[in-house]
Each structure stands twice: as C-alpha cells, then as structure tokens.
C-alpha cells in the first residue's frame, strides 16, 4: 500500500528505499521476512518505471538485511524486453 500511495501522490518521484518488518502479539519478529510476491511485483514495476533501484531493508530483532534492488528477490522476472 505504501508504494501505491507514494506513486499516486508523488508520480514523478522515484522510490529510493523501503523498510519491511512484521510483528506479533509478542513484538517484532526475530528474523526478517521478505515482502510477498504481489508487493515485490509492484516494487519491481516501480524500479523499471523510474529506472532506479529500490533499496529494501528487512528488519528483525536478531538481524537486519539490506538489499540493493528488488531484482535480488525476483531474479527471473517478467519485463518489457520479453515483449520485443
């Protein structure tokens, strides 16, 4: 939802980074979890649209993981080059 909101309110501003975490009734999760497939696809389309990688910060109490691009989660992804 944050990506949809950002793209609708600021259509000419590329997204630079997004942080992802989750919590339970006991607090933040211990180990980071990745975004779901639908969210990854939306983020990938934003990267392609702006020709700008989005840094993803995954937070867990035991560990923080930082990636440089959504493509690290979707190495085999559908893109416009496949339509040529």
- List the chain domain ranges: 2-70
Q: Which of 41 and 82 is assigned the larger pLDDT? A: 41
> Cα–Cα distance between 47 and 26 in angstroms, integer?
34
Mean pLDDT of 36-57: 92
* HSE-CB for 5 with a 13 A CA cutoff: 3
Helix axes 2-9, 37-50, angle to 10 degrees: 30
Quickly state the pLDDT bin for 22 (edges 50, 70, 90): very high
pLDDT (average), residues 21-46 = 91
Tell me the whole-structure pTM to 2 decimals: 0.83
What's the mean pLDDT when you consider all of the chain?
A: 91
Mean pLDDT in residue range 53-81? 91
Predicted local distance difference test score (pLDDT) of residue 77 = 80
């Amino acid at each position: 939802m944050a990506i949809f909101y950002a793209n609708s309110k600021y259509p000419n501003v590329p997204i630079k980074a997004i942080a992802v975490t989750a919590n339970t009734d006991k607090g933040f999760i211990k180990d980071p979890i990745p975004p779901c497939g639908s969210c990854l696809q939306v983020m990938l389309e934003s990267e392609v649209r702006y020709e700008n990688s989005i840094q993803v910060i995954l937070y867990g109490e035991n560990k923080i993981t930082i990636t440089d691009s959504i493509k690290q989660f979707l190495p085999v992804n559908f893109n416009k080059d496949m339509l040529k």
